[in-house]
């Protein structure tokens, strides 16, 4: 009898919450669908697309690869998150193997932006991508089989330079450096 009562209670609660959830789910799905439709041209959902229109730097490198930096935000936790997109404007598939950098400790990160650095020229310091406890970068990994005309998002987290530093140089192996301005998060 307790099992039957519990089943009825759960069915009653489940049915009530499901009806209440139907309308928000539909609107959430609709807004998610709108965000994904716009994602091809703007680079993501509604919130990231607002920052995707801002371009801090555009770097054109070998094999017609283009990296666009859309934000470099100083986070309260003491780090900087750089994010943007990479686009394969060439006619061959691109794998970001060389972007991992030459350091053997970064091998677990695989094709990634693990080799990226921020350079504080005024403070004469280089800031490397942060790593987790397994040695993998706190950055976008799995950057393989990027098809011609394909765009993918990327991010990389670095230790934050001193608060007086507002401009740094973003460097990615095989690509020219670019000056970017840090913003407060």
Cα dihedral 152, 155, 156, 157 in deg (nearest 10): -170
pLDDT at 18: 39
Strand partners, 69: 57, 84
Yes or no: say if 77 and 185 are a contact pair by the CB < 8 Å rule: no
Place of tokens 């094709």: 111
| pTM assigned to the model | 0.70
Spatial CB neighbours of 84, under 8 Å, sequence gap ≥ 6 = 56, 67, 68, 69, 70, 71, 153, 154, 155
**What's the whole-number average pLDDT of the chain?**
77
Q: For residues 15 and 55, which has the higher predicted lDDT (pLDDT)?
A: 55
As a whole number of angstroms, the distance between CA 75 and CA 55 comes to 19
Q: If you average pLDDT over residues 142-157, what whole number do you get?
A: 95
pLDDT above 50 for 127: yes
| CATH code of the domain occupying 54-184 | 2.60.40
Domain segments of the chain as ranges: 1-50, 54-184
């Amino acid at each position: 009898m307790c099992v039957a009562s519990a089943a009825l209670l759960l069915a009653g609660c489940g049915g009530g919450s499901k009806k209440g959830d139907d309308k928000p789910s539909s609107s959430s799905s609709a807004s998610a669908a709108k965000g994904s439709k716009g994602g091809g041209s703007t680079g993501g959902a509604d919130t990231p697309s607002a920052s995707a229109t801002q371009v801090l730097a555009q770097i054109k490198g070998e094999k017609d690869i283009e990296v666009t930096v859309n934000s470099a935000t100083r986070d309260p936790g003491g780090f900087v998150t750089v994010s943007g997109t990479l686009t394969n404007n060439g006619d061959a598939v691109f794998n970001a193997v060389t972007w991992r950098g030459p350091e053997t400790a970064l091998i677990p990160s695989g094709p990634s932006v693990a080799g990226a650095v921020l350079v504080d020229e005024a403070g004469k310091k280089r800031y490397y991508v942060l790593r987790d406890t397994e040695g993998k970068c706190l950055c976008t990994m799995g950057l393989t089989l990027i098809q011609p005309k394909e765009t993918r998002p990327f991010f990389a987290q670095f230790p934050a330079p001193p608060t007086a530093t507002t401009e740094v140089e973003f460097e990615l192996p095989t690509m020219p450096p670019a000056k970017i301005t840090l913003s407060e998060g």
